[in-house]
Amino acid sequence: MLWEWLVMPQGLKNAPANRMMSHVLRLLRYFAPIYFDDIFFHCRAEEGLSAVDIHLRYLRQVFQVMRENKMYANLKKCIFCAPVIPVLGCYVSKSGVRAEKITSICSWPTPKNPTQLHQWLGLANYLHKYTKNYARLIQSLSSLLKKDATWSWRPGHQVAFDSVKKRLSEAPILILRDNLKPFHVVCDASDFAIGCALIQFDNEGHERVVSYQPR
């Protein structure tokens, strides 16, 4: 699923700088995509060179463009040649993508009111792509947040709450999609939820999940 901002989520003040970065680095986005004012490098070994050598080559290209356009980076915020980097609420490595905020979600106490449940679901929903059958798991919890619903936390709600936390604590490492390989889609549905999983085979021939998508 592809998401694209239709507004400036951080207001207009950062729009000119973001527009400049997008324009200046547009030819390098294959290996150095940007998100607002962050630049993410990704590379693999190729042409007989190691991944580190390729990484350094890409860095030099980006630094040259930045120098020509008088753009500056905060050295304290830079991470170079790292095997794992934090990106938008997850950790990305050569093994794949794993969730970042698992501990805070799994240690969350039982909600006492709709506001607390809404806060917890806000965090959990952000990580739905790691959880199989997520829509079915939260169905009873979501019903407590419907308009005119009466708050009554029952044993079934506690079971659902604990089940989601358990699933997230066991969240798999998702594979990074490879657009040169075929994809497979696995779908399932019930009376109140539907879901699918985007699948690819890794280099060892193992079936891996790219993302779960519930509704």
Determine the Cα–Cα distance for residues 25 and 188; give it in Å rounded to an integer. Answer: 41
Cβ-in-10-Å burial (0-12, 13-18, 19+) of 210 comes to: buried
Give the start-to-end residue ranges of the domains of the chain: 12-82, 108-169, 174-214
What lies within 8 Å, CB to CB, of 124 at 6+ separation is 105, 138, 164, 168
Choose between 101 and 172: higher pLDDT.
Answer: 172
pTM of model > 0.75? no
Distance, in Å, from the CA atom of 11 to the CA atom of 97, rounded to the nearest integer, reads: 29
**For residue 147, what are its two tokens?**
């308009």
Tell me the torsion sign for CA atoms 81, 83, 86, 89: positive
Rounded CA-CA distance 149/161 in Å is 18
Token pair of 49 as six digits: 């060179």
Least confident of 94-103, 112-121, 178-187, 197-206: 94-103
The mean pLDDT of the chain is 86
End-to-end CA distance of the chain: 13
Confidence of residue 160 (pLDDT cuts 50, 70, 90): very high
* CB-neighbour burial class of residue 126 (10 A; exposed 0-12, middle 13-18, buried 19+): middle
Six-digit token pair at 17?
């700088």
pLDDT in tens, 121-145: 988 888 888 888 888 889 999 999 9
Average pLDDT over residues 22-37: 85
pLDDT at residue number 1: 45
With a cut of 90, say whether residue 151 has pLDDT above it: yes
Per-residue pLDDT tens for 55-95?
A: 999 999 999 999 999 988 899 988 888 888 888 778 888 88
At 2, is the pLDDT very low, low, confident or very high (cuts 50, 70, 90)?
A: low
Phi, psi of 161 (to 5 degrees): -60, -50
